[in-house]
Amino acid sequence: MRILVRDVKRVSDFYATVVGLHPLLKDERFVVFDDGTGTLMEFDATPQGDRDPPDPHIALTVRVDSLDKAWHAALDVDGLPSAILDEGFRRRFQLVDPEGNVTHVIENTVELREHLVANHNGAARPFLDHLGLRWTFGAGDATVEFDIRDDLRGPGGALQGGATATLIDAAAATSASLALGGARVFTASMTIHFVRPGMVGPIRAYTTPTRVSQRVAFMEVRVVDVGDGEETIATALLVMQARSPSSPDPSTPITDS
């Protein structure tokens, strides 16, 4: 992420002192930070002759180990922080940096993978359980799959499209929840292209976030027939949106799109 700013030193001091980020590279013309998730934030000086950066107001998200420490540090700057919001699975507040960019500061209060596993294993979800969906969580990602049964086949013997669509929706919601810091999400839009029939199984969905903002995640999903050489049977594009910032009920599934 590259952001043009008027005063590199002032911005650098703000994110180092207030937010607690450590610069990876720095000189008088630019500074590069790790935002806490492995994504690099580069602040470059506005080119000579340009009065203002082309997009001076950008929403940023950074993750910190101690939200209370960051919040108290932010009290000493001009852009006073908002109140700390506790959402159960994370705590957060927002402030405005010296260039007018809104910065969302987040502290995860539970490990997201454990939170998702607990919700999926312990929640009531009759329809998803009827399909037999199974979640496998990795380091920051997840796959979802199910077996083909006779009651899920259409008249021609192939997997019904509705079952594939449900798999896609559940997989995208799970990965979007991970990408959005554990937020509960709903499906804003979904476009599916069916490539070939699913005949053997298991049917598995792989997801890739293509763009993630503060409350929206754009997802690509590829569905394969594992028993048929992992041939692709469908692809999809989805827009997943975080629900309103009310504290989620830990007894209900996160992926309730």
Q: Is 82 exposed, middle or buried (0-12, 13-18, 19+ CB in 10 A)?
A: middle
| Domain identity same for 119 and 238 | yes
Asked if 138 and 60 sit in the same domain, the reply is no
Tell me, yes or no, whether 255 lies in a domain: no
Task: State the Cα–Cα distance between residues 106 and 8, nearest whole angstrom.
Answer: 23
Domain holding 174, by residue range, is 112-242
At 136, the amino acid letter reads T
> Both 18 and 103 in a single domain?
yes
What pTM was computed for the model? 0.55
> Are residues 174 and 232 located together in one domain of the fold?
yes
- Measured between alpha carbons, how far is 228 from 246 in angstroms, rounded to an integer? 43
User: What is the CA 48 to chain-centroid distance, rounded?
Assistant: 36
Report the C-alpha gap between 172 and 250 in whole angstroms.
20
Residues 36 and 117 in one domain: no
The count of structural domains within the chain is: 2
Q: Are residues 133 and 190 in the same domain?
A: yes
| Cα distance between residue 243 and residue 177, in whole Å | 10
Residue after which a domain boundary falls, among 65, 81, 108? 108
The tens place of each residue's pLDDT in the chain, 257 residues long, gives: 678 888 889 888 888 887 778 888 888 888 888 766 556 778 888 775 455 555 555 667 777 778 888 888 777 665 577 888 876 667 788 888 888 888 878 876 555 555 555 555 545 567 777 888 888 877 657 889 999 999 999 888 999 999 999 999 999 998 898 888 778 889 999 999 999 999 999 999 999 899 888 789 999 999 999 999 999 999 999 999 987 654 444 334 344 44
Same domain, 136 and 232: yes
Q: Indicate whether 102 and 116 sit together in one domain.
A: no
Cβ neighbours of residue 236 under 8 Å, at least 6 residues apart?
Answer: 168, 172, 190, 191, 192, 193, 220, 221, 223
Is 175 a member of any domain? yes
Supply the CATH number for residue 211's domain: 3.10.129.10
For residues 62 and 46, state if they share a domain: yes
